[in-house]
């Protein structure tokens, strides 16, 4: 029998990918010719099952095109992007706000590491002092100023020092 005749027996309006097996009653893939559980022949042949699946899929290609006839469910698209800041806030984790201060700290550390190079003693002291000042400026700016601004409720501890 030509497949075009067989597609008539498919209820294409039914979006289900599964069917209850008439013999064992368990849910099985609708467009596979045999029941997965008891091998009951749901379709006279695999070709017919495939033709029925293609006809069924053609009715609603937008939703059904990604489906395999061996699937029992539609593919689920999960949005894996996580807003870590929102998540941390939700979990009550104190995350330091993203800012430019870490770059200042790194800049200070760069000078400090330059001071480790055996230049003359004066040059090393100057580099160390500059590095330390930039480093501390970065720490103070990052931890005290920005953190206090972003998290006013946590600021009691830092305000004691003033």
Rounded to 10 degrees, the C-alpha dihedral 53/55/60/62 comes to 70
Give yes or no for residue 24 binding Zn ion (CB under 5 A): yes
DSSP bridge pairs for 76: none
Q: Which of 17, 29, 32, 35 binds Zn ion (CB under 5 A)?
A: 35
Give yes or no for residue 21 binding Zn ion (CB under 5 A): yes
E-only strand ranges, 4-138: 18-20, 27-29
Burial (CB < 10 A; 0-12, 13-18, 19+), residue 146, is middle
Q: Which of 14, 37, 45, 98 binds Zn ion (CB under 5 A)?
A: 37
Stretch that binds Zn ion, among 18-26, 55-63, 80-88, 117-125 (CB under 5 A): 18-26
We find the least distance from the C-beta atom of residue 25 to Zn ion, in angstroms, to be 7
| Footprint of Zn ion (CB under 5 A) | 21, 23-24, 35, 37-38, 40
């Amino acid at each position: 029998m030509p497949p075009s005749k067989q597609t008539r027996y498919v209820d294409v309006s039914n979006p289900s990918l599964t069917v209850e097996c008439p013999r064992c009653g368990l849910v099985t893939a609708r467009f596979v010719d045999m029941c997965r559980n008891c091998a009951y022949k749901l379709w006279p042949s695999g070709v017919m099952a495939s033709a029925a699946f293609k006809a069924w899929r053609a009715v609603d290609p937008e939703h059904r095109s990604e489906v395999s006839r061996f699937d029992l469910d539609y593919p689920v698209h999960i949005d894996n992007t996580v807003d870590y800041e929102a998540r941390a806030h939700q979990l009550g984790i104190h995350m330091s706000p993203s800012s430019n201060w870490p770059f200042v700290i790194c800049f200070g550390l760069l000078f400090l590491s330059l001071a480790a190079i055996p230049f003359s003693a004066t040059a090393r002291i100057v580099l160390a002092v500059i590095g330390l000042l930039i480093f501390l400026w970065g720490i103070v700016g990052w931890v005290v100023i920005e953190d206090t601004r972003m998290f006013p409720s946590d600021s009691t501890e830092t305000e004691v020092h003033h």
